């Protein structure tokens, strides 16, 4: 059990900040996740357009343009 969670969070943030991004390592992670999704039968989806309406609504909400005056 963690008694001082703020100290642990600070330590984790420091570790993340010190670690440099590694493209090939991240690519291995993505490929592993893809392989797992294929083994579970959830990728590729049976209907690729299923849920597209939700994606469009989210995209519209995120792409709000504001003017700076």
Domain boundaries, the chain: 5-62
Is residue 39 scored above 80 in pLDDT?
Answer: yes
CA terminus-to-terminus distance, the chain:
51
Tokens linked to 53? 């309406």
Contact between 13 and 7 (Cβ < 8 Å): no
Which residues touch 34 (CB under 8 Å, ≥6 apart)?
Answer: 43
- Residue-wise pLDDT for 10-38, tens only, equals 999 999 999 999 999 999 999 999 999 99
């Amino acid at each position: 059990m963690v008694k001082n969670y703020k100290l642990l969070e600070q330590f984790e943030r420091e570790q993340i900040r010190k670690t440099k991004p590694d493209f090939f390592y991240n690519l291995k992670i993505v490929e592993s996740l893809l392989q797992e999704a294929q083994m579970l039968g959830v990728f590729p989806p049976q209907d690729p357009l299923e849920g597209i309406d939700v994606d469009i609504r989210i995209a519209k909400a995120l792409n709000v343009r504001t003017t700076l005056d």
